């Protein structure tokens, strides 16, 4: 990040405050650093090297630039705006600036666009796509896909699971989600069986040291290092291609997990707990039912529809 020493120091102090005082997760800190880096670069390109002197007009133009010139989606622009607001609120609270220029910035409308979902048949194709002909790590890939779909896990969650987080007897995982929040997620029989097989037949050959250098992570790469989010994305995409499926990414499995639960009659509060959502509103956004399912529910559960059905049966 190229900016003057004052702004650079404030930037570092802000991230330190977020890490130590607020206890924010590493991924959140990375997002803050990335968003502010773009803001500082934008200001520097316009001969404004000190971000602490930015005006509301400067910040408004930056948000407009992200939306129009960079063509970022509303959700991404909203996240940038949230970062900017937090940063300048902190500058104002610490006395670094006399007035908060971000306090009146308007939040762009964020349409709640749902990610794609797969049918149960397509999901079966995906989780069964890893095979011995695809390489020696096919057991790891199969276990990873079964866990992601069986537990509705994020990419960042599945790659941080440790061996001791898998409880075969209980049929559950101890998962650490956003903000370091932990939850227990029950998983199905296929996920249990394939994970146990991977642990017995594949993982021992991947371990390069017994001193815990691999962090005791469950899923390892060919070099014995823990998988990261990028690797999980690549593996999901590769196995989706083997299965003949397009536009599939890790969150597709998580969204399909939630959708299939709702379609199967699961209570939305239960789905919220399984996904690790703090708010039920988030669960409502990430779970939906098909139009056919809605029609079926309306026909079977709505009192008027039920009455009409009874009348028709009597008439017959």
Q: Catalytic positions, please?
A: 154, 178, 251, 254, 277, 286
Please name the residues in contact with 151: beta carbons below 8 A apart, sequence gap of 6 or more: 173, 175, 185, 186, 187, 191, 257, 274
By C-alpha distance, which of 160, 83, 130 is closest to 242?
Answer: 130
Please name the residues in contact with 237: beta carbons below 8 A apart, sequence gap of 6 or more: 248, 249
Kindly write down the DSSP assignment for every residue of 173-198, as one continuous string. Answer: EEEE-GGG-EEEEE--HHHHHHHHHH
**Other residues' Cβ atoms within 10 Å of the Cβ of residue 88:** 24
Compute the radius of gyration of the chain from its Cα atoms.
24
- Distance from C-alpha of 216 to C-alpha of 195, rounded to nearest angstrom: 15
Phi, psi of 112 (to 5 degrees): -85, 80
């Amino acid at each position: 990040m190229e900016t003057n020493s004052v702004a650079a120091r404030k930037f570092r102090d802000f991230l330190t405050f977020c890490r130590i005082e607020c206890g924010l997760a590493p991924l959140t800190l990375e997002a803050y650093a990335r968003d502010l880096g773009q803001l500082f670069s934008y200001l520097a390109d316009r001969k404004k090297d000190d971000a602490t002197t930015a005006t509301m007009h400067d910040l408004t133009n930056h948000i407009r630039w992200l939306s129009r010139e960079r063509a970022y989606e509303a959700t991404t622009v909203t996240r940038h705006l949230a970062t900017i607001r937090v940063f300048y609120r902190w500058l104002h609270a610490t006395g670094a600036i006399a007035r908060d220029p971000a306090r009146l910035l308007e939040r762009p409308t964020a349409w709640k666009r749902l990610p794609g979902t797969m049918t149960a048949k397509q999901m079966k194709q995906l989780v069964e796509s890893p095979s011995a002909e695809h390489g020696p790590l096919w057991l790891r890939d199969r276990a990873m896909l079964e866990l992601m779909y069986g537990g509705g896990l994020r990419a960042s969650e599945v790659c941080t699971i440790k061996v001791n987080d898998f409880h075969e007897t209980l049929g559950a995982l101890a998962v650490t989600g956003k903000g370091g929040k932990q939850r227990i997620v029950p998983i199905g029989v296929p996920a249990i069986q394939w994970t146990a097989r991977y642990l017995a037949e594949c993982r021992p050959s991947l371990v390069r040291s017994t001193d815990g250098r691999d962090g005791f992570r469950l899923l390892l790469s060919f070099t014995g290092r823990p998988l990261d989010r990028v690797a999980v994305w690549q593996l999901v995409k590769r196995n989706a291609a083997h299965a003949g499926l397009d536009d599939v990414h890790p969150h597709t499995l998580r969204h399909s997990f939630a959708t299939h639960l709702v379609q199967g009659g699961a209570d939305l509060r239960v789905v919220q707990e399984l996904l690790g959502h703090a708010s039920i509103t988030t669960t409502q956004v990430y779970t939906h039912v098909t139009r056919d399912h809605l029609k079926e529910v309306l026909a079977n559960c709505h009192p008027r529809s039920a009455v009409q059905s009874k009348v028709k049966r009597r008439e017959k």
